[in-house]
Chains A and B, each alone.
Chain A
Amino acid sequence: MSLAHDARVAVHPAAGAQRPARARPELNNPAAWVVAAILLIMPLIANGFFLIEIFATTMILGIMALSLMFLAGYGGMVSLMQLTIAGFSAYMVAVFGVSGNANISLGWPWWLAVPMALALATAFGTLGGALAVRTEGIYTIMITLAIGAAFYYFTNQNWAIFNGHTGINTVATPHFWGVNWRADIPFYYVVLAVAALCYFAVEYLSRAPFGLALQGVRDNPRRMAALGFNVNAHRVAAYAFASFIAALAGVLQVWNYRQISPGSVSVGACIDVLIIAVVGGITRPIGPFIGALIFVLLRTFALDFLVRLGLDGNRFRLLIGLGFLAIVFWSSDGVIGLWQRWRQRQRRDDSRSRGGHRHG
């Protein structure tokens, strides 16, 4: 289990590949514009099922995995508690806001409950981070996994706030300006806006002093201290930022399902986020979203596919697991790593054939 190590190793080739267009790679890339346009007009193409069950769910999971990508890809810290932070945020929306469990929920309007949930979840993640930064590599994974597991069992057993294993149901979603923001199309745009915001924030931050310093901490923490940086403070700040992103995803998640229960914060779900980030690639912010799309497509359609082959549909995780194995075996920087290498090879072939023509 050398994920932390892989994370560090994986960063280098991809960072090199992105170097030529380092300022704003996505602006020079026509494919990025096409994807953006398709995402914007998606409600014209897709029905409610695809809009929410596939794309909104993908983006919500993508945001959670993005928070892990930020920590692991830029900071070299593999945190398995990102889903737990999102789940905590989701619980807090349900507890402070309006839900079917009137004896638990405080009934605050969403515009008070959401900032409260974000603040508490960010504080929760920052505290967890402050514990985790005292460790390195596999111990960071262990301590964050322990936090995730502890939270799962706590929600199962605590009835006063978390309502035990049944969780909190019929959580209210925002209605204002005459719009039901949980209706398929408005909710799709809300999720898209938050996902875009998080994506560009991480992308922007990677070249700001804070993000650069974080990459310095990843590459050589001892030298960073010898340059005047307080390495642990930087790591904790990275956890705070990543926690805020995960907390945003948690708010969207509880609005999406309108309920939150321990099943959503299980240890398996924590590991799913890691799988999503690694399959997509943790070297660039787009990776987690690609990983989430693959995960959601498999989760949704592998069942039918397996049943058609005469297998048990619940074995879709087997497909995900095999895919994960294949990815980490052949491409330590995920699907985007495969894509980048394929593009580089094409470019090399191109220049070689052009060179041949000149000489010929």
Chain B
Amino acid sequence: MDSVAQRLSAVGAGAALELRGVTRLFGALAALTDVTITVRPGERRAVLGSNGAGKTTLFNCITGDFPPSSGTIRFFGEDVTHFPPYERIRRGLRRTYQISALFPGLTVQDNVYLACRGVSRGRFSFLRPGQNDALMHAADNLVQAVHLSAVKDQRVAELAHGQQRQLEIALALAGAPRFVLFDEPAAGLSPTERAELIEILTSLPAHIGYIIIEHDMDVALRVVESVTMMHNGRIFKEGLPQEIQSDPEVQELYLGGGHE
């Protein structure tokens, strides 16, 4: 287990994402304490932990939704600790939200089009996209990739929960993502939809790494190659999925308690 941690930290400067001593305080409450994580480009990792372990706060610090109180965050070698979220996104970072954060007043197509537009030029363009607009085609392809073509002209407010979750993923895959943070993408999905989600995740291009927060171990352990366990805002264990799964401390803390 230590060997994996060593292997991961040895990647050093070539890391996709490198957190050093990241702490986030909310008043007196430390949601994250001294978190140090290194993720290689293309690596797929699960972050596990009970409610309040700091998983979503970790995501919020990485994307800049909340800046960390201390510590540094490097994205492909660049120090992005003090960048606003949109600057990080434009560099290839993406995220999804645990509770779908979509644009309910707009259509599926417009939602995805906005995602494509956000990471390219012409965000302020006063000209309507024409018939051969490259971003419209990109949006079409993304809509198709998440199986939403049939409802692409419907407003998001009218979609079923599972469809909204799929759209949530489509928004995170617009443009040229280099690293994606998935915050409980399987929450509330049916078994069929879970299978589709696993298919989407496993068929991502190899160079796109991700961190996935997922309570469903069947989903999480099928789509990742490493696991970070968090507890009370700290890194508790890091290792391969099977190591984590069979670790008695982890079972005591999370897996055992979670399933009973």
A and B: interacting chains:
yes
Contacts of A218 in B (CB 8 A): 105
With an 8 A cutoff between CB atoms, is A216 at the interface? yes
| Per-residue contact bits, chain B 131-167, to A (CB 8 Å; 1 contact, 0 not) | 0000000000000000000000101011000000000
Q: Are B125 and A216 in contact (CB under 8 A)?
A: no
Given contacts A19-B155, A220-B102, A228-B86, contact A208 B126 (CB under 8 A): yes
With an 8 A cutoff between CB atoms, is B201 at the interface? no
Partner of B174, one of A16, A227, A231, A237: A227
Q: Tell me, rounded to whole Å, the shortest Cβ–Cβ distance linking A295 to chain B.
A: 27
Q: Are A16 and B123 in contact (CB under 8 A)?
A: no
Q: Tell me, rounded to whole Å, the shortest Cβ–Cβ distance linking A263 to chain B.
A: 36
With an 8 A cutoff between CB atoms, is B34 at the interface? no
Among B86, B104, B106, B171, the one with the most A-chain Cβ atoms within 10 Å of its Cβ is B86
With an 8 A cutoff between CB atoms, is A342 at the interface? no
Q: Are A227 and B119 in contact (CB under 8 A)?
A: yes
A212 and B124 alpha carbons, distance in the complex (Å): 10
Q: Are B126 and A226 in contact (CB under 8 A)?
A: no
Q: Are A208 and B128 in contact (CB under 8 A)?
A: yes
Contacts of B157 in A (CB 8 A): 12, 16
| Per-residue contact bits, chain A 285-296, to B (CB 8 Å; 1 contact, 0 not) | 000000000000
Q: Size range of the interface on B? A: 35 or more
Interface residues of B (CB under 8 A from A): 63, 65, 84-86, 89-90, 94-95, 97, 101-107, 110, 113-115, 117-119, 122-129, 153, 155, 157-158, 171, 174-175
A227 and B127 alpha carbons, distance in the complex (Å): 20
Q: Tell me, rounded to whole Å, the shortest Cβ–Cβ distance linking A198 to chain B.
A: 14
Q: Are A15 and B127 in contact (CB under 8 A)?
A: no
Partner of A227, one of B84, B106, B126, B171: B171
With an 8 A cutoff between CB atoms, is A184 at the interface? no
Q: Tell me, rounded to whole Å, the shortest Cβ–Cβ distance linking B187 to chain A.
A: 17
With an 8 A cutoff between CB atoms, is A223 at the interface? yes
Q: Are B102 and A228 in contact (CB under 8 A)?
A: no
A to B CB contacts below 8 Å, 24 in the list: A12-B155, A16-B157, A19-B107, A209-B122, A210-B125, A212-B106, A215-B106, A216-B103, A216-B106, A220-B101, A220-B102, A223-B103, A224-B114, A225-B84, A225-B86, A226-B65, A226-B85, A227-B114, A227-B115, A227-B174, A228-B90, A229-B123, A234-B123, A234-B124
